[in-house]
Amino acid sequence: MSSAEHIAEEDRAPDGARPASRLRQLAAASVGNAVEWYDWYAYSFLAVYFAEQVFPKGTGDSMVPLLSSFAVFAVGFFMRPIGGLLMGAIADRRGRRAALTLTILLMGGGSLLVAVTPSYAATGLLAPVVLVIARLVQGLSVGGEFAASTTFLVESAGPGRRGLFSSFQYVSTTIGQLLASGTAALLAALLSERQMGEWGWRVAFLVGALLSLVGLWVRRGAQETRSEVDRTAARPGLFEALRRYPRQSLLICGITAGGTIAYYTWTTYLPTFAQVNAGFDKGDSLTVGTLSLVFFALLQPLGGLLSDRIGRKPLLLGFALGFAVLAVPLLHLVTDAFLSLLLVQCAGMVLLTGYTAVAAAVNAEVFPARVRAAGIGFPYSLTVALFGGTAPYVGTWFKQAGHADLFPWYVAVLCLVSFCVYLTLPETSRQKLDN
């Protein structure tokens, strides 16, 4: 076989389909993933509006409802490792499509439950209980979503394009976040703050539940990427990846720690950080968040393409070192001026791309196909739960305790830890992926 014929043979899509089907695979993963993350992120953008509806105020302390809502945000993250393990196991046993279908159904159901959460004034403790249950369901879903969609995207890529396909994990995540941020900003512009607090926030969650049905329909056209050999082989055990690949599991934790704290600080918590630390206007902070997310989404494919050319490791090292050095001065530059927050957020997005554009590819290249989804899902989601999901709560708690200046150092130290891990990584961009 000639080299050209060999490349053409390798470049076939899963199950022998032609390369043109890769675009359909990309669309199926991206549209569904965008819907998933719209539902997930709507919570964080709207927490400042529904907190007092669902949680009682502490005596003389207006921060209690917001802290409570961010605590529930963190609780949802602690379901993510379970979701990563269970949905990852389904993806490894039954196929990536089966897991992707189940995750989007769970997310839509959780979003609908948030939309109909009663107020504390009307039902007392039932209100926060319903919200916690909804968030637990969404956490289970999104933990499995990353595991299944990461493996699906990277396994759908052609030779020399895993970085590019990997970048669409965060392109679609950011589109979902943009939809959530944009919807919140639009509602805030059209409605008064009183209307937003009473019922306006519910509209965004109802929209999310409807969008989940759209994502489910799109995913029906996806092709399975798990090979026929794997599908007919003995199914992997639930904890097989942890048992047989403990080093790789720990490696996923180290890869993720700095990335997740930087990601959730810059894309989710920064508008609230600006509100509580610099007196930034709520509506304006949502607008800044939306503009910076557009910029971030445009950067992702460029980062993915660059990693296919020069490798994953240089981008990871640049990201981690950049945040270790610049996180503190950047967060100290945040004021109540619109341009100040926009520049800080966009500067962080440039650095963050070094991680987000390649994270899916790097994670997928660590494990063999047989246990890839579960192998990624559990350690990744556990690390995100510990450091990413708690970022808004930790940042708000530092402010309440009178030590707001410590939070930027917390971000910098975690990024420095990941920098040390990246130094030990082998370069995998040129290696053939085990499918």
pLDDT of the residue at 254: 94
Neighbours of 350 (CB within 10 A): 15
Q: Is 10 within a domain?
A: no
pLDDT of the residue at 231: 53
Q: Is 1 within a domain?
A: no
* pLDDT, the chain, mean: 83
Confidence tier at 207 by pLDDT (50, 70, 90):
very high
More confident residue, 184 or 61: 184
pLDDT of the residue at 9: 39
Comparing CA positions, the residue from 79, 170, 62 lying closest to residue 132 is: 79
Share of the chain above pLDDT 90, in %: 27
Tokens (6 digits) for 49: 């509006």
Name the domain count of the chain. Answer: 1
pLDDT of the residue at 230: 54
Confidence tier at 384 by pLDDT (50, 70, 90):
confident
For the segment 43-50, the average pLDDT, to the nearest whole number, is 80
DSSP secondary structure letters along 304-361: HHHHHHH-HHHHHHHHHHHHHHHHHHHHHT--SSHHHHHHHHHHHHHHHHHHHTTHHH
For the segment 164-172, the average pLDDT, to the nearest whole number, is 91
pLDDT of the residue at 7: 33
Q: Is 2 within a domain?
A: no
pLDDT of the residue at 57: 67
Question: What's the CA gap between 340 and 330, in Å, rounded?
Answer: 10
Confidence tier at 233 by pLDDT (50, 70, 90):
low
pTM of the model: 0.80
For the segment 197-214, the average pLDDT, to the nearest whole number, is 90
pLDDT in tens, 291-335: 898 999 999 999 999 999 999 999 999 999 999 999 999 988 888
Q: Does position 386 have pLDDT exceeding 80, yes or no? A: yes
Confidence tier at 202 by pLDDT (50, 70, 90):
very high
Question: What's the CA gap between 238 and 227, in Å, rounded?
Answer: 19
Question: What's the CA gap between 285 and 394, in Å, rounded?
Answer: 20
Q: Does position 378 have pLDDT exceeding 50, yes or no? A: yes
Residue showing tokens 């926060």: 128
Neighbours of 125 (CB within 10 A): 9
More confident residue, 181 or 355: 355
Q: Does position 267 have pLDDT exceeding 90, yes or no? A: no
Give the chain's largest Cα–Cα span: 77
Question: What's the CA gap between 8 and 273, in Å, rounded?
Answer: 50
pLDDT in tens, 102-120: 888 898 999 999 999 888 8
Confidence tier at 1 by pLDDT (50, 70, 90):
very low
Phi–psi pair at 217, nearest 5 degrees:
-65, -40
Neighbours of 166 (CB within 10 A): 31
Phi–psi pair at 173, nearest 5 degrees:
-60, -45
pLDDT in tens, 333-370: 888 888 989 999 999 999 999 999 999 899 988 888 78
Contacts by 123-128 with C-beta closer than 8 Å and gap 24+?
127/53, 127/54, 127/55, 128/54, 128/55, 128/68, 128/72
Comparing CA positions, the residue from 102, 101, 113 lying closest to residue 76 is: 113
Q: Is 433 within a domain?
A: no
Q: Is 162 within a domain?
A: yes
User: Is 35 within 8 Å of 221 (Cβ atoms)?
Assistant: no
Lowest mean pLDDT: which of 2-11, 88-97, 335-344, 374-383? Answer: 2-11
Residue type, 272: T
Comparing CA positions, the residue from 159, 420, 429, 421 lying closest to residue 310 is: 429
Lowest mean pLDDT: which of 5-14, 166-175, 227-236? Answer: 5-14
Q: Is 3 within a domain?
A: no
Q: Is 302 within a domain?
A: yes
For the segment 70-90, the average pLDDT, to the nearest whole number, is 81
- Give the range with max mean pLDDT: 109-123, 159-173, 259-273, 346-360: 346-360
Output the domain CATH number for residue 277. Answer: 1.20.1250.20
Share of the chain above pLDDT 70, in %: 89
Q: Is 86 within a domain?
A: yes
User: Domain range holding 36?
Assistant: 20-424
